[in-house]
């Protein structure tokens, strides 16, 4: 029998990043949604029940998996309630607003013997998959520098909750979660964290710019995001003792999902050839330079792996502990900025 999924929230995240992928995942059914827009839900997923509040969804005995896709302030509360109700849980990133909250959820899930995971979907961006393969291949040698950008041009401040002065708001929690998770996935935990945070747009109430430097023994990781970047530079820059890799452009899956496309559709997750990365390395002592065809992205991998984890005991697609480490880096970044200094990973303010 298919896993019955309940989705909390049908805004941008729920309707674009979760519902379409759940709906196309074999072994899963989008059975219920908590939303104030029942007509919108039913128009896309007529089989789904629509509840007006979280408590009614959690009391539904048919629901086995709950996806928390609501504003960041509610992540901890709803995830804890769902675990207490005996449901497996997916939390949209950022996991929680503090690492202490994350630790409590991890302990609760273990106590209840339930699966808890976090939707770090950009582990399956096409460019990130390509970089992972390049690093595994050794063509760059020992990497000493890694730089990743998630820049936008959004000069106007909106009234959305993500841009309010609230816990868990701002670009560091939003886009920073993605870049930090990717860096930790590739290189593990750093030794040090340094950060510069800003409100660079007129009227900004939450940070809309960050520049992070993660220090490793022989590696520096630079993670950057700005809101006033009209002309995009490279998305990724990697330098090693054998070669370099420079990559422009963004994975298309978000744009495709927004347009109603999804897994299995034409060109799903495929890069524009003009954005293929440039590799400069050597083979047998001979210098080689050329483009690398980008691997195909696949956000659907998250839910496919999750279905296998629930039904067959396979590993979780994203360990909750990994997502907790991301939040800890964010905490250290905020402390580093406020103190104006580099902080060790084990720093406790």
Domain architecture of the chain: domains with CATH? 3-119 (3.40.50.720), 122-297+329-344 (3.30.360.10)
The DSSP code sequence of 175-189 is HHHHHHHHHHHHH--
**Entry pTM:** 0.95
Rounded CA separation 183/14 (Å): 25
Check if the beta carbon of residue 254 is closer than 8 Å to that of residue 152: no
Residue 219 CA to residue 146 CA, distance in Å, equals: 8
Q: Give me 151's structure tokens.
A: 């820049």
The 28-34 sheet, strands edge to edge: 49-51, 28-34, 3-8, 65-68, 88-92, 116-119
* Average model confidence (pLDDT) across the chain: 96
The three-point CA angle 265-29-48 to 5° equals 105
pLDDT at 159 over 90: no
Grouping H, G, I as helix, E, B as strand and the rest as coil, residue 227 is: coil
pLDDT tens-digit profile of 93-132? 999 999 999 999 999 999 999 999 999 999 999 999 999 9
Q: What is the mean pLDDT of residues 272-289?
A: 93
Pair 323, 181: CB distance under 8 Å: yes
- Report the DSSP pairing between strands 88-92 and 343-344: unpaired
Q: What is the pLDDT of residue 284?
A: 84
Give residue-wise pLDDT tens across range 5-37.
999 999 999 999 999 999 999 999 999 999 999
Q: Which residues are CB-contacts of 106 (< 8 A; sequence separation ≥ 6)?
A: 116, 320, 321, 324
* DSSP track, 59-110: T-TT--EEEE-S-GGGHHHHHHHHHHTT-EEEEESS--SSHHHHHHHHHHHH
| pLDDT band at residue 162 using 50, 70 and 90 as cut-offs | confident
What is the reported pLDDT for 349? 64
């Amino acid at each position: 029998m298919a896993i019955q999924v309940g989705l909390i929230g049908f805004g941008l995240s729920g309707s674009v990043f979760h519902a379409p992928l759940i709906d196309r995942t074999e072994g899963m059914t989008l059975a219920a949604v908590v939303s104030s827009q029942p007509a919108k839900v039913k128009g896309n997923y007529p089989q789904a029940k629509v509840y007006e509040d979280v408590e009614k969804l959690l009391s539904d005995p048919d629901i086995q998996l709950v996806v928390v896709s609501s504003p960041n302030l509610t992540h901890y509360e709803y995830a804890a309630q769902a675990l207490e109700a005996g449901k497996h849980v997916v939390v949209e990133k950022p996991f929680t607003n503090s690492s202490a909250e994350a630790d409590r959820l991890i302990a609760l899930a273990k106590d209840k013997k339930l699966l808890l995971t976090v939707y770090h979907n950009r582990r399956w961006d096409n460019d990130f998959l390509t970089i992972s393969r390049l690093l595994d291949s050794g063509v760059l040698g020992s990497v000493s520098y890694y730089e990743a950008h998630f820049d936008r041009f959004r000069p106007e401040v909106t009234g959305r909750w993500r841009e309010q002065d609230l816990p868990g708001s701002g670009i560091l929690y939003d886009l920073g979660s993605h870049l930090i998770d990717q860096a930790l996935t590739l290189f593990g935990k750093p030794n040090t964290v340094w950060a510069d945070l800003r409100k660079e747009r007129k009227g900004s109430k939450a940070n809309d710019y960050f520049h992070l430097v993660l220090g490793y023994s022989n590696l520096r990781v630079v993670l950057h995001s700005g809101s006033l970047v009209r002309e995009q530079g490279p998305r990724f820059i990697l330098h090693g003792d054998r070669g370099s890799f420079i990559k422009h452009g963004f994975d298309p899956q978000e744009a495709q999902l927004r347009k109603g496309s999804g897994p299995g559709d034409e060109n799903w997750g495929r890069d524009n050839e003009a954005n293929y990365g440039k590799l400069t390395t050597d083979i047998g002592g001979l210098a080689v330079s050329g483009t690398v065809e980008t691997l195909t992205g696949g956000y659907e991998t998250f839910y496919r792996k999750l279905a296998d984890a629930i039904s067959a005991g396979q590993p979780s697609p994203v360990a909750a502990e990994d997502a907790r480490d991301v939040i800890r880096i964010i905490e250290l970044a905020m402390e580093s900025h406020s103190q104006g200094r580099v902080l060790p990973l084990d720093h406790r303010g």
